[in-house]
Every structure is written in structure tokens, then in C-alpha cells.
Structure 1
Amino acid sequence: MRVLALIGTILLALGLTSGVAAGAASGHHTGLLPDGATWVADVPASWNGTTILYSHGFGPLAAQDAPDDETRTALLGSGYALVGSSYSGPSWWALASAVDDQFGALAAAGRLTGRPRRTIAWGTSMGGLVSAREAEDAGHRLDGVLSTCGLVAGALNLNNYQLDGEYALAHLLAPGQDVKLVRFASPDEASASAAALTKIATDAQGTPAGRARIALAAALMNEPGWFTGPTPPADYAGQEVQQQQELSQFVLGFVVTGRYQVELAAGGNSAFTAGVDYRALLTGSSHARQVRSLYRSAGLDLDADLATLTRDAGIRPDPQAVRTLARTSTATGRLRVPALDVHTTADQLVPVEQEDWYGEQVRRAGAGALLRQAYVGATGHCAFHPAETIAALHALESRIGTGRWGDAAEPGRLNEAAGGTGRFVRFDPPSLTGARR
């Protein structure tokens, strides 16, 4: 008996057991990975054999194993083990290390619980991009991936369309003001630019011309015309009001300061305006009719503004930064396991248009049968009810268990699985404006 117990201990330490009851390993665990990242795991006493590898979003490098406390409690109560790492950096944009750190955390948790019967990667926001990349490097470690509000179009697209909108704000509304948009030397420099752009967008709201140009910048940034309220405004003017509120109250302060973190990780600026045809960009935007209408109401020449943006565009990328983000922070679409993406229809930080770009990448890679995308008819970044994301998790589990999607990821089934409280809708996301890959 002592020999058998010793063998069991050795197998557990090596992570070679399968379907081990986790009673002895239950509780809250933390640890340190070789590269300095921390990890955290929560294991219920009655483990159901499934481990969820959770990837957190952009922000401080602190280990998390669930998107929020309510979801964590529900998952643990249903028997799931949860694990996640902090990532090791070097900045909050930690894509260079995140996938390895996450798999390192998974291995560390496996040494406590034994080998899971099933492992699902789940990421939110930037973590959704982490999970998308994990799905391309799953090996035998993952059975499926859930991405919620995921930044699945990657850093190169993100940096480009955000820069397009920021450039339009600065150049059309404050042409005499020297607002730095890229290559920030410090967090303070980025914060100063964010404050300057926020003031520009706030001051311009007072005139019809200012509102028209704000709508143009918002269109280039893929900003939805729905920020608050139970339903989106029906008229173009009302949509612009909400876009201006998004930009001035939330988005600019976040994304401009965030650019410093991305540049720090990339070793330079990956975005560009030089050579961009801004008339063509707007033509491809789902907000083009709104912009044209507001320009007509303001008595402004839209063609002249677009020509000015195209003529004066001069920001060029740093090639090494482009290569770094292409390697670390871009999804190829070459899925190796089933994946379910969930997005709100109006997301201010990670536009739902990213799903259109990502879906096309997956189809081009020949992996379309593995991907399903579902949409919650709501406004806000990651603004899901816990029941909605857990319903999506169960849909993914159905696909893993049966080998087919069936109608598991259809709105009706997801709403039913969410206890009748789900807000899933049929939705076809528009094309991502500013996507240059």
C-alpha cells in the first residue's frame, strides 16, 4: 500500500494521472513561473474533470482565473477547476509571453489536480487574442477555446484604425495644435496626448461642423453609435452624440495611453497613415451614410476633408515593431480545436467588426468548420451577463463532446441555456474599417 501511495504521489507530481479526484488538491493555490509570472488556481472539492484556462485582458499584470467574482463562484460551484497567469510582460501588452505563461500555469495546476479530462481556454478582451493564439498552438493541451469580447483582429489592425481616428480628430479639428500620436517616450507623454484629444472632441461637439468631423473620426475608429440606453438611437444625430460621449468619456483616455504599452512591447510604432486613402476607408465603413448626412447638414465639404487627410498623412511605421506584433499579436486563423467567439453588438473598445475580420481569417485558413460566432444585442465592452458566458461555455462543451456544432451556438439555444435571460441575437458584423492585413 505504501508503494502504491508513493507511485500515486510521483504521478501526481509529474502531472501524469488522468481524471484524478481533486479533493486533496481543492482550494486556492498560487505559484511562480520561471520567467517571473505568477499563477493562480482554484480547485473545487468535487472537481468535474474540466479545467478552464482563463486569460485576462489588458491591464496590470496580476494573475486571474475568471472574468469576475460572480462567474468564478458559479463555475466553482459547478465543479470546474480554474487557472490563469499574470503574464510576464514586459508591458501590459504581454502577448509575447502570454501563451507560454498560460500553458505554464496550466501545467502547474495539473501537478496539483492530475491531468484534466478536458481543458478549455477562455479569454476576455486582449485575453481573447491570447486564447485565439492558444487555439493555434493547442497541441494536446486544449479541447476548445471560448473568446469573449476578444481582440481577435490583432494589434496591427487595432493600432492602425485607432490611429486613423485620432489623426482625423487632431488634423481636422485642431490643425494648429501639435498633438503627438505615436512613439510615446513615457506614460506621461501618452496621457498628455489623450487629454489633448479628449478636449478636442469635447470642444468640437458645440458646432455642427465639429459634430460632423467627430462622426468621421468615430467611423474610422469603428466606434458604434450606441453607448448608453436600452436601445441604439435611431437617428444619425443621436448616434453621433453617443459616439462623442464614447470618445471623450472613455475611449480616447484608454486607447491613447494603451498605445504606449503596445509600443513598449513592440519596440516602436507599428501604425501608419502615410499612403492611406481616407476616401476609400470611409467608403468601406458601415457609418459612411451617417458621416455624409452630418457633413451635408453642417454645410461641410466631406471630399475636401478626406483629401486633406490623405494628402497630409505622413506617419510611417517602424518595421521591427510591425514584425514583432505580426509574430506575437496576430491570429492566423489556423485553428486546431473548436472555438466559439461571443461579442456584444456595440463594443466601444474592441469593435464587433473585429469578428468579421477574424472569421475571414479562419475561413481562409480552412478552419471555418471549427469556428462559431455569437452575438449579444447589448452595448459595452465585455458587457455580458454571467449566465450568457456560461451558456456559451456549455455550447462549446457540447461541440467538444459530440464533435459537431448542431444548433448549440444558435441564439435560441444560447438564450434557453442562459435560463431565458440571454440577449443573443442574429447579427452579421460589418467589415472592419482600417484593416490593412
Structure 2
Amino acid sequence: MRSKKTLVMLAASAVVATLLLAPAGPAGADDSAGNEPLPGYTDGTPPLAPLMVDGEPTRVKQGMYRHAAYYVEVPPKWNGELVVWAHGDQGDGTVLKAEPPVGGLRKQYVEEGYAWVASSFPTTGYNVGPAVESSHELAEYAATELLGHRPSRTYMAGGSMGGHVVARALEEYPKYFNGALSLCGQVGARRLYDYFLDGNLAAQALSGVDAYPLGDDYQTDALPLIKKRLGLTDLKPGENPTTVAGRQYQQMLTELTGGPRPAAEAALGIYADAMLAGGLPAIAGHQAQNLTTRYKPTAPVDINPTVERVAPDSWDERNSMALNDMPRVLGKPGVPVMSLHTMDDMLVPLSMQQTYTRQLAANGQFDLLVNREIRSAMHCDFSDMELGKAWKDLTSWVERREAYGEKVARPAGDDILDRTTVASPAFGCRFTDPDAPVTPVSASRELFPDC
């Protein structure tokens, strides 16, 4: 068991956590597309060194295409198939950076013969619409100009915000992709911002502090009082709030993030500061709402009659199918989707995966989705083994469907809609790597009981 001191590191990391997968570096430039970033942006994509596959180097190409930086990597013995990678939110800077696939995926792709492409997207921040278009445009550019011939199969893959890109790209370009891998994917669209709003308004209602919308004195006056009354001040991972109101808030967040499950309440110490600090609520803009939220538990205090209720500024904008910064996802992928998620993540919680799963079920596409839960509380904490198995099972599934028909059995997954299953102490054990490397991020795995 790791020490509490090790776990405390997680709380600090959560404050600065954003909806992204970390970039990886180095690379050489080729601007053969003759394009430039949009005004105000620059390309900061680093050179990417080729990998060696069976003693031969991969072919790496990078440049600019339609205002986005890109990487393309082709293995020495290309199998004719392509992976389109979508990165997570890199923040609101002005430097564009393409990112290679995370963890061991890049290496696995080229060793298995797959070529891959990755766009920086033409803009930064949480701006999914342009990312969807840019990813598709790059795939077409690669197919017609960079690879020599069109791929026999094209996969979409991405993490965090990139998972949102994946989900909408499948619907925006039906029949273009053959399958998809979503990692810690934000597949709840605007419901994620509803969740941030829920978490903050619940904290205010339980603490008796009216601070919405957030004023200039929020950080100095309101936030310390909310945390004090909820017993959250200096809360460490694995600890419980020190007040009755705080314990109820802990249980409310558990419900809002997907229901009782192993270590869900223990994860509050990681995320309390990030949830209430003011940064995440600000992301919600003016299109979040809590009119339909039923807050639970209702004891010892039922806040439902008293909590502040917020409507979106425009229902038309919220419900628009436009490719905007936070485009809707309908749950109609049309192709197999493998979804890997860390079950006690409170930045992109399990409840987003549950929403997406219910959408597919309502659309008659439930059999096109496999959910796998990993026993971690940190956003996008996956070992190479967890990533690699999910990828191999996805591609095998796609190939079997093409060979034997659409009725072939799905790969194994977790039932994330059954409340009893999710609450089981063993939930998530099946697909969690027992030998995941020990890092400050993976330390949250020690909050879970042994499988």
C-alpha cells in the first residue's frame, strides 16, 4: 500500500488537470501542404523521431494542412489500414501541437502494421467542431496524397476531449470509419458541463453559501467558507469530509458521477479543489442547466426545493446539431466502439459513459459499444497493457464482423448500467492491469480494495 503522502500528490495534480492526454515529444518539419496557421496561432509541433520496427525505421512526415499541424507515421510494412488519432484539450494558448497516440499505442500501431495520422486541429481549447472536421480532412489528405493508396480500413481513436471528437466524427461521417477506440472519452457533450454546474450548486446549497454566478470575491471569500462548512479544507485522498453536510455532498457527487462504486467516495479528496475552485464551473459558459437534476441523497437535507436552478441562455443553441465547440452526440456510431474509462474519474465521470450507452440502446445500437472500466480515480490513467488489449480486441471485433456478419459476439466488457454490478467491490477488476507501473498518477489505484 502506498503512503498517504504519495496519494496527496494526486490532489495537487487534480487542481491543474484538464480534459487532455499529455503530449509527447520530439519531431522534424515538412511544410509540403503549403499551409499556415490561422491568424494569431503558431505551430509548435516538435520533431518526431521515427520508431524502429524489425530493424527498419518508420516513415514520419509532418507539416501543415488546412491551418492545422499534423503527424503521419507509416511502418516499413504497412498493412494498408489507418488510425486517425484525436488529442485532448491542450488549453487556451495560441500554439498548435499535433500529438502522437498516447502510451504504448503508437508503438503498437506501427509494430502491427498500422499507419496513423494526428492533427493539431486549427484552434486550441475545448473546440470539438473544428477538431472533427480537421481530423476527417487530414484522413482524406493522407489517403489521397501521403500514403500511396486509400486505406482498406480507417479507425478513429482519441482520448478525453478527443473521445468527444471520436463520437461526433462517427456520426458526422457515417460509414467513413470502420471502428473506434475512445479513451476516457468525453461522450456526454454538454451534460459534462451540467455536471460541473450540479456539483457547484449542490455545494452551495448544502453549505448555505450563495455564490452563483461566481463573483470576483469567490476565491477569497465564498470558496473558503464553502469548504469549511462542508469539511473539505485540506481534504486528502481517501479521507471523508469532517461535517455532516460534507458527507452528504460526498454522496451526492458519487451519485452524480455514476452511482456507488469502489473508491468513489475516497476520490473526493483528489477532486474537491478542482471541482470547486472556479475554473471548471467557468467552462460551463451559458449553456449548462440543472433544471432536470434530482439531487440524491435527500437526507439529512433535501436540497431539491431550495437549490438554485439555472437554465441555459438558449435552448436552441444547446440543442443545435451544428459542429460548434461542444457539439451534440446522439449515440449513433454505426460501427464498433471500444470505450476504456477510469471508473472514479471526477473530471469526465462514469455518468458520461452511462449517458452514451443509454443513447446507443435507445437507437438500437447497443451491440456496437463495449465499455471497460479501469480501477483508477485519475483521468486517463491507463497502462500499456490495458490500452493494447482494448485495441487488439477492437480490431479483431471489426475484422470478425466483416468476415462473418454483424451478429458476431462483441468482446467482453463491463455492465455500467446495472447499479448493483457497478457497486460491487470487484467492479473493474476484469480489465484492470494488476501490474500497472507505479507512478504519482497511478497511485490512486491504491484507494481500491484488492480484486
Please say if 1:57 is aligned against 2:100: no
Displacement of 1:241? 5.5
Letter aligned with residue 132 of structure 2: V
What residue in structure 1 maps to residue 146 of structure 2?
A: 112
Name whichever structure is richer in helix by fraction.
Answer: 1
Aligned residue for 1:409, secondary structure, equals coil
Tell me which moved more, 205-214 or 113-122.
205-214
Displacement of 1:261? 5.1
Please say if 1:142 is aligned against 2:140: no
Aligned residue for 2:171, secondary structure, equals coil
Please say if 1:77 is aligned against 2:111: yes
Change (3 A) 1:132 1:25: farther
Provide the rounded CA distance (Å) in 2 between the counterparts of 1:410 and 1:240. 24
Please say if 1:315 is aligned against 2:310: yes
Provide the rounded CA distance (Å) in 2 between the counterparts of 1:339 and 1:134. 12
Which runs of no fewer than 5 residues in structure 1 stay unpaired? 1-12, 14-23, 227-231, 234-238, 264-268, 283-287, 296-301, 424-437
Provide the rounded CA distance (Å) in 1 between the counterparts of 2:152 and 2:396. 15
Aligned residue for 1:128, secondary structure, equals helix
User: What does residue range 36-185 of structure 1 map to in structure 2 within 5 Å?
Assistant: 36-60=67-91, 61-68=96-103, 70-89=104-123, 91-110=124-143, 111-114=145-148, 115-155=150-190, 157-173=191-207, 175=209, 178-181=211-214
Provide the rounded CA distance (Å) in 1 between the counterparts of 2:77 and 2:136. 23
Provide the rounded CA distance (Å) in 2 between the counterparts of 1:108 and 1:244. 46
Identity of aligned residues (%): 24
Change (3 A) 1:65 1:252: farther
Provide the rounded CA distance (Å) in 1 between the counterparts of 2:330 and 2:304. 32
Displacement of 1:88? 2.2
Provide the rounded CA distance (Å) in 1 between the counterparts of 2:80 and 2:318. 41
Change (3 A) 1:418 1:359: closer
Provide the rounded CA distance (Å) in 2 between the counterparts of 1:316 and 1:272. 5
Residues matched between the structures, number: 347
What residue in structure 2 maps to residue 21 of structure 1?
A: none
Displacement of 1:112? 1.2
Displacement of 1:244? 3.8
Letter aligned with residue 243 of structure 1: L
Tell me which moved more, 212-221 or 137-146.
212-221
Displacement of 1:86? 1.5
Please say if 1:32 is aligned against 2:30: no
**Does the 8 Å contact 2:60/2:72 carry over to 1?**
yes
Provide the rounded CA distance (Å) in 2 between the counterparts of 1:259 and 1:77. 42
**Does the 8 Å contact 2:59/2:76 carry over to 1?**
yes
What residue in structure 2 maps to residue 281 of structure 1?
A: 295
**Does the 8 Å contact 1:169/1:213 carry over to 2?**
no
Provide the rounded CA distance (Å) in 2 between the counterparts of 1:347 and 1:357. 15
Please say if 1:381 is aligned against 2:379: yes
Displacement of 1:119? 1.3
Provide the rounded CA distance (Å) in 2 between the counterparts of 1:366 and 1:93. 30
Change (3 A) 1:368 1:314: closer
Superimposed CA distance per residue, residues 263-295 of structure 1 (whole angstroms, 9 cap, x where no aligned partner): 3xxxxx10124x45x6x332xxxxx3xx74xx4
The higher radius of gyration belongs to 1
Provide the rounded CA distance (Å) in 2 between the counterparts of 1:197 and 1:241. 25
Length-normalised TM-score, structure 2: 0.67
Provide the rounded CA distance (Å) in 2 between the counterparts of 1:338 and 1:306. 39
What residue in structure 1 maps to residue 352 of structure 2?
A: 354
**Does the 8 Å contact 1:25/1:112 carry over to 2?**
no
Displacement of 1:392? 1.0
Tell me which moved more, 390-399 or 214-223.
214-223
Displacement of 1:46? 2.3
Superimposed CA distance per residue, residues 302-333 of structure 1 (whole angstroms, 9 cap, x where no aligned partner): 13x44321xxx243311154145776422111
Of residues 404, 409, 412 in structure 2, which corresponds to 1:406? 409
Pairwise CA RMSD of aligned residues?
3.6
What residue in structure 1 maps to residue 7 of structure 2?
A: none
Superimposed CA distance per residue, residues 333-392 of structure 1 (whole angstroms, 9 cap, x where no aligned partner): 122222121222222211112222111111211222322222223332111112211211
Aligned residue for 2:343, secondary structure, equals strand
Letter aligned with residue 408 of structure 1: P
Displacement of 1:144? 0.6
Change (3 A) 1:315 1:390: same
Provide the rounded CA distance (Å) in 2 between the counterparts of 1:326 and 1:219. 32
